[in-house]
Each structure stands twice: as C-alpha cells, then as structure tokens.
Amino acid sequence: MTDPRYGRLIGASLGPGDPGLITRRAWAALESDARWLYPVKKSGGGRGDSYALAIVERSGLPIPDDAEALVFPMSRDAQVLARAWATAAARTLDVLASGRDAVFLVEGDASTFATFGHLARAVRALNPAIEVETIAGVSSFAAAAATTGVPLAEEDETLAVIPAAYGVAVIDHLLDDFDTLVLLKVKPLIDEVLDLLARRDLLATSCLIEKVGTPEERIIRDVASLAGTTLPYLSLMLVRNPKRARGELRRGCRKRLAPAGAPDEASTITATQEAAA
Ligand SMILES: C[S@@+](CC[C@H](N)C(=O)[O-])C[C@H]1O[C@@H](n2cnc3c(N)ncnc32)[C@H](O)[C@@H]1O
C-alpha cells in the first residue's frame, strides 16, 4: 500500500551524455513540480561535480534553485558508504514527507549498474509505503554501439555486459560463449584486458569509448594504442568475437532465408506455434 501523504520517488534515466537521448518521460518528470535530487561524489561538491546534472544542463533546461545534491562517495570503506547511504535515504525521505515528488537524476539507464536501485531500496526500508517509479533510459553501451556502428547483437548472437573487475580469466571464459562482450568499468584493468585481446587475436574487433555523448567523447579503434595509458572512469569497451564457435539452436529460433515473396519461415513457425497454444 502506498501512502498518499508522501510524494513519489522517481528515477529519471538521462542517457549517457547527449541530452538528445533524454526520453520524453524523463523530460516530463524534470519539468514537473518534483524536487530534483542529483548525485555527487564528494560532500561540498558543487553542481559542476555532478555528471548527471551536467547532462541536463547541456539540454538547456533550467536547474531549479532548490535542486539538491546527495553524496555517494567512491569509497570501499563500508562504514563511510553506510553513513552516506543512510544520509541520502533519510534526506530523500524528508523531501517525500513534504508531499512533493522527488526526481533522482541518473546517468545512463536507471536499472543498469545504477545508484538509483540502492537508493530506492534504502528509502523503502525506512518507509515501505513509498511509491517508486523507474523511468527507463538509454544505457552507455547502447549509445556507444550506435555511435561506433558496432552492433551489440544480430540475429542469434549472444551478448554479455559485465564489469571488467571480474578479471581476465572470467572475460577469457565468456569470450567462448558470447559474440559480443561489453566491458564496463574497464579503467583499472585496461592493460590486462589488452594482453588478453592480443592473445585471442581480438584487438582489431574491439573498440573503446570514453564519455559517449559528451563534448569530451573519444572513440579509440586502435585499442592497442591504449597500453600504459590512464582512462577516465566513464570508459567502456565493446569486444566482438567473430571466431566464436556456435552451438545448435532450437528449431524456430534461428531465422532462415526464404525465397522472395514466400512467408518468412521463422515467423511462420512462431505464428503456427502461437495458434496451437
Ligand atoms: C556505474 S556504471 C553506470 C552505468 C549506467 N547506468 C548505464 O546505463 O550505462 C559506470 C560504468 O558505465 C560506463 N559508462 C557510463 N557512462 C558512460 C559514458 N558516458 N561513456 C562511456 N562509458 C560510460 C563506464 O564503463 C563506467 O565505468
């Protein structure tokens, strides 16, 4: 049961950088009466410290005077993190208790490796009656694929999206099962990843994208040139593995070429199966 005395908590996905990728629904949430909350990494950090807020600033939408920063430190210290999360959740609940909606600004997509899910859970742990809306958005890797022209997956290809921190042994193993790997948070492991790609002869089919959609966007197709360099945190790698050995697919899943004018076999099978169901 939701409590009508409290406002709703809205997670507005803003896309990864280009304000043109803010959806109409997120835009409407920003233009509503909802109080804006935006993430920063350090307390005392001004508006310039928020990547999410910068996306909206580039859109030309005025930033409300009462937009408020919530601090989410980049720390591994459990106590520091617990304190910051408790403060952010309590502050969000204060806003909602005034009866006003709160819109939390999210870089990329709010359901993909995003702070919003944790924040929503922490707020609902304080008050389970809080209504939460998550507005879907464009992820960094969807935008990177579009910008570079590298397909994420076609036909019956397989796709995996992982934080590179799992390490090269895991990445090596996944390359046997996936036609495309998206490596997020690749910065700390870049040299190890490059060595692996060289061993598997995949340097030529890999691409690195920094800060996609922003004025600082950089696309590096000659990924070997990145060896020994320092990348920004907002970098990802798209790895295509054209040599992957494929297994058999179940009948009806693989699209077959039909003669011109003939009904497409895959859709015929699906339609027949649906009719029989
Ligand atoms: C915590 S995850 C956030 C993912 C985000 N919610 C999304 O939908 O893409 C952060 C990682 O996503 C990737 N990333 C996010 N935004 C990016 C951008 N604008 N350009 C390149 N990579 C980005 C980087 O790999 C970064 O280390």
Determine the pLDDT at residue 251: 67
Determine the pLDDT at residue 262: 54
Determine the pLDDT at residue 273: 38
Q: Is the CB of 112 under 6 A from ligand 1?
A: yes
Determine the pLDDT at residue 79: 92
Residues 50, 24 share a domain:
yes
Task: State how many domains the chain has.
Answer: 2
Cβ atoms within 10 Å, residue 40: 20
Determine the pLDDT at residue 253: 65
Residue 270 in domain: no
The CATH number given to whatever domain includes residue 47 is: 3.40.1010.10
Q: Is the CB of 54 under 6 A from ligand 1?
A: no
pLDDT tens sequence across 87-145: 999 999 999 999 999 999 999 999 999 999 999 999 999 999 999 999 999 999 999 99
In the chain, which residues have pLDDT < 50? 263-277
Q: Which atom of ligand 1 is nearest to the CA of 211?
A: 20
Are 94 and 1 within 8 A, CB to CB?
A: no
Q: Which atom of ligand 1 is nearest to the CA of 16?
A: 19
Pairwise CA distance, residues 83 & 80, whole Å: 5
Determine the pLDDT at residue 46: 73
Which domain, by its residues, includes 37? Answer: 9-138
Query: What letters, b where the CB count within 10 A reaches 16 and e where it falls short, cover 192-218?
Result: ebbebbeebebbebbbbbbbbbbeebe
Residues 221, 124 share a domain:
no
Determine the pLDDT at residue 269: 33
Residues 182, 83 share a domain:
no
Category of 184 on φ-ψ map: left (φ > 0), alpha (ψ -120 to 50) or beta: beta
Classify the C-alpha dihedral 101-103-104-106 as positive or negative: positive
Determine the pLDDT at residue 247: 78
Atom 23, ligand 1: residue with shortest CA distance? 234
Determine the pLDDT at residue 261: 56
Determine the pLDDT at residue 74: 85
